A and B are shown apart, each in its own frame.
Chain A
Amino acid sequence: MQYMLMAYVNENGWTNLTQAEQEKGMAAYAAYAEALTKAGIVKGSNRLRPTSDATVVRLSDGKSQVLDGPYADSKEQLGGYFLIDVPDLDAAISWASRCPAAGHGAVEVRPIWEMRR
């Protein structure tokens, strides 16, 4: 089954870190991504630019409305994701618990809605 591991972290926390701390943080994520790749389960992963770079679009009365900023203001923001393919939820949870974001934020585990081709 495929699961999306969504890393929710406080993005302000990142800018407040010293350069050495940021490097350490990056290294932890790189190691995690490496472990996922070695296990042969990763289908895709990306880090997202901060929510200050986000734009929200919705259609209202047939006109598109464009708003600066994220969809929802929250304490922690979606900062990146890992799409993995593992046998079951327990395996997905065990990978989520190793993600560095689980330590300084939270990781949401969502099964992919599998579509029949």
Chain B
Amino acid sequence: MSVEGGEQARSTADEVARRSYGKLVAFLVARTHDVAAAEDALSEAFALALKDWPEKGCPASPEAWLLTVARRKIIDAFRGRRRTEYATEQLHIMSEGLKVAATAPEIPDQRLALMFACAHPAIDGAIRAPLILQAVLGLDAKTIASAFLASPAAMSKRLVRAKEKIRQAGIPFRIPEREELSERLNTVLDAIYAAFTEGWTDPGGADVIRRDLTGEALFLARLVTELLPGEPEGLGLLALMLHAEARRSARRQAQGEYVPLAQQDPALWDSRMMAEAEDMLHRAGAMGSIGRYQLEAALQSAHVYRCRTGVANWKEVVQLYDALFALAGSPVVAINRALATSELLNAQAGLDAMPKLESDPRLADYQPYWAARAELLAKTGSYDEARRAYDIATGLERDPAVRAFLQQRQAALPLESLE
């Protein structure tokens, strides 16, 4: 084996893994409904490639080579299983189907069907995003566990269970029919957004794994918009994530201090990414069907416009939050709407518009509620109450930079309340 041959084999395998991993998994799962078996067979095929290619040279079509090997591995694995699981004729049909499909000139792209299976309503909502990251992108359980703040053992157990359910419960492997497509697509988009926000919680980039998740989520959202270009919410989600991503480097100072949106330097924003986000949003808007992600992207767009031009647009912002609240009422929307209201009218109006702790006990340990309350109380001159709210907000925050920012705000409060 020559050194160059080994290196070339490795880089070819890496490239195929990056470009086609999800496609190969989806192909195998479409014919077997067995995600775990597809992943195992494929990883064996990749291992064999790294042994075989340096000696015999890389094949003309590495994907077809990998698929042929994986197909053989998967049939072997099924043969070895307890006979109660597969009847001989069932195995034969599966193996023939795999053979015919594997010799087709081009591997069909069934990643979207795979995503719909992973984000099926019958799969536990909390495991959908991890499942998509693993099945479509090949991320390992350890990496995913770290991103979602779970123990690797617990994460891998839940992933195994979800894959078992796909296999045993007869979860279909297809893109849903027209009439239920947008509802079902929402669960896929929610899973992608969950992956993005998990990656986003550490914008300082101290943790490489989490930072990378935002890139993976963007990749998945792009995939959805390419495969379903007529779905406005897919475009909306991509626009929303591009807007957030474009401001990444402006969110921290050189020493890692947190910078809130209003104080960010627009020169640090990625204007190309923002332009792409705006383009997506316009395309989505032209389709005439509004949704949560389009509204959230429109809000990002409005905030960016205000910061760039200095033109106050709080009335539009409050209207967008109203629409969003009507569509997807959640504490976080209510809090942001209250903050916008305080800018449009005054701090007291903002406080009045805040969701009430008495009617929603979940707010008690919800950091954004206490941070927003602290800001508004400080503006109305209730410094003692503001101080207490900052204490709770700081105690609930897991990002050290934001914690430091909240402490700074608290320390800047005058000692005497104005009341």
- Assembly CA distance A88 to B120 (angstroms): 12
Shortest distance between the CB of B211 and any CB in chain A (Å): 36
**Is B168 interfacial (CB 8 A cutoff)?**
yes
Nearest A-chain residue to B180, judged by Cβ: A90
Q: CB-CB contacts of A10-21 with B at 8 A, as 1s and 0s?
A: 000000000000
CB-based contact B122/A93 at 8 Å: yes
Asked if A89 is at the interface of the complex by the 8 Å CB criterion, the answer is yes
Contacts of B83 in A (CB 8 A): 116
* Residues 167-208 (chain B) with a chain A CB within 8 angstroms: 168-172, 176
Q: With a CB–CB cut-off of 8 A, which chain A residues contact B359?
A: none
Kindly state whether residue B263 has any CB partner on chain A within 8 Å: no
Contact A111-B87, Cβ < 8 Å, known A89-B122, A93-B122: no
B84 within 8 A of A: yes
- Beta-carbon contact of A115 and B84 below 8 Å: yes
Contact B84 A111 (CB under 8 A): no
Contact of A27 with B by CB under 8 A: no
Most B CB within 10 A of own CB, among A89, A92, A111, A115: A89
Interface residues on B, range: 10 to 19
**A54 within 8 Å of B (CB atoms):** no
Within 8 A of A (CB), among B116-163: 120-122
In Å, the complex CA distance between A111 and B172 comes to 13
A88 to B84, CA, bound (A): 20
Shortest distance in angstroms between A113's beta carbon and chain B's nearest beta carbon? 8
- Determine the distance from Cα of A3 to Cα of B170 in the docked complex, in whole angstroms: 10
User: Would you call B170 and A116 a contact (CB within 8 A)?
Assistant: no
Q: Which B60-106 residues have C-beta < 8 A from chain A?
A: 83-87
Cβ of A1 within 8 Å of any chain B Cβ, yes or no, is yes
The answer to whether B84 and A89 touch across the interface, beta carbons within 8 angstroms, is no
Contacts known (A116-B83, A116-B84, A116-B87); A111 close to B168, Cβ less than 8 A? yes
Known: A89-B120, A89-B170, A116-B85. 4 other contacts (CB 8 A): A87-B170, A87-B172, A89-B171, A111-B170
**B residues neighboring A (CB under 8 Å):** 83-87, 120-122, 168-172, 176
A-B contact pairs, 28 of them (CB 8 A): A1-B170, A3-B170, A87-B170, A87-B172, A88-B170, A88-B171, A88-B172, A89-B120, A89-B122, A89-B169, A89-B170, A89-B171, A89-B172, A90-B171, A90-B172, A90-B176, A92-B170, A93-B121, A93-B122, A111-B168, A111-B169, A111-B170, A115-B84, A116-B83, A116-B84, A116-B85, A116-B86, A116-B87
